[in-house]
Amino acid sequence: SQTIHQWPATLVQPVGSPLSLECTVEGTSNPNLYWYRQAAGRGLQLLFYSVGIGQISSEVPQNLSASRPQDRQFILSSKKLLLSDSGFYLCAWSTSVDTQYFGPGTRLTVL
Amino acid sequence: QKEVEQNSGPLSVPEGAIASLNCTYSDRGSQSFFWYRQYSGKSPELIMFIYSNGDKEDGRFTAQLNKASQYVSLLIRDSQPSDSATYLCAVNSGTASKLTFGTGTRLQVTL
């Protein structure tokens, strides 16, 4: 069966610091991968998606970036965090069927 | 701009009653429709998906789709306090299995 991992689970970072969140999927090959952000009381905002290694599409221009160095690894990064980057970051995967399955998420607080 | 609209709630129903959650979408070309449940502080989990007009039942849950009216709903029979959560409607946007999410309806099942 497929499993998706995200770490860290929680993170508190000062404004201007860098960020690296990691997501890995087990039990499937060549998944589509997604990064979402959910601000407090808000809906899910798609940030990036990837259909293969090194293939990244950005949905919302901002100070975040994503990379997919391996088939089942998806990384979300920032060089300098803003207060507005606080939120619940969710990684998801799907295969040829469009159902998406979410990881446990990372709660980021930028102070 | 493809949109998915949900009433934010809270929708309050007594234990044992039927909860009816509704969702409308703007893209007539949408083909796949999903309901996710999200407990407070947790990531969304898939409840059901539906592709064809009509009803689809899974245990206490029934998804209803009406493409002509661009309307999808979720019925929860014999509501339990454990059903108290936010329910997210999602619609396939046709590219790389991208989903557009509504902001969710908060359901409260009272004793």
Q: Does B88 touch chain A (CB under 8 A)?
A: yes
Q: What is the pLDDT of residue A97?
A: 67
Give contacts of B99 with chain A, Cβ < 8 Å.
Answer: 46, 98, 100
Say how far apart CA B49 and CA B90 lie, in whole Å.
9
- CA B74 to chain centroid: 5
- HSE on the CB side for B111, CA within 13 Å? 1
Minimum Cα–Cα distance from B33: chain A residue: A99
Q: Do A100 and B97 touch (CB under 8 A)?
A: yes
Q: What is the pLDDT of residue B96?
A: 65
pLDDT tens per residue across span B24-39: 999 998 889 999 999 9
Q: How confident is the model at residue B58 (pLDDT cuts 50, 70, 90)?
A: very high
Q: Do B96 and A105 touch (CB under 8 A)?
A: no
Is the confidence at residue B110, as pLDDT, over 80?
yes
Q: What is the pLDDT of residue A62?
A: 80
Amino acid letter, residue A31: P
Output phi, psi for A75, to 5 deg. -125, 135
Task: Show Cβ contacts of residue B57 under 8 Å, excluding neighbours closer than 6 positions.
Answer: none
- pLDDT tens string, chain A, 111 residues long: the values are 889 999 999 999 999 999 999 999 999 989 999 999 998 777 899 999 999 999 999 988 689 999 999 999 999 999 999 999 999 999 999 986 679 999 999 999 999
Is the confidence at residue B103, as pLDDT, over 80?
yes
Q: What integer best gives the mean pLDDT of chain B?
A: 94
Q: What is the pLDDT of residue B90?
A: 95
Provide the percentage of residues in chain B whose pLDDT is more than 90.
84
pLDDT tens per residue across span B8-18: 899 999 999 99
In a 3-state reduction of DSSP, which class is residue A1? coil
Amino acid letter, residue A64: L
Give contacts of A101 with chain B, Cβ < 8 Å.
Answer: 46
Interface test with A, best of B87, B93, B98 (most A CBs within 10 A): B98
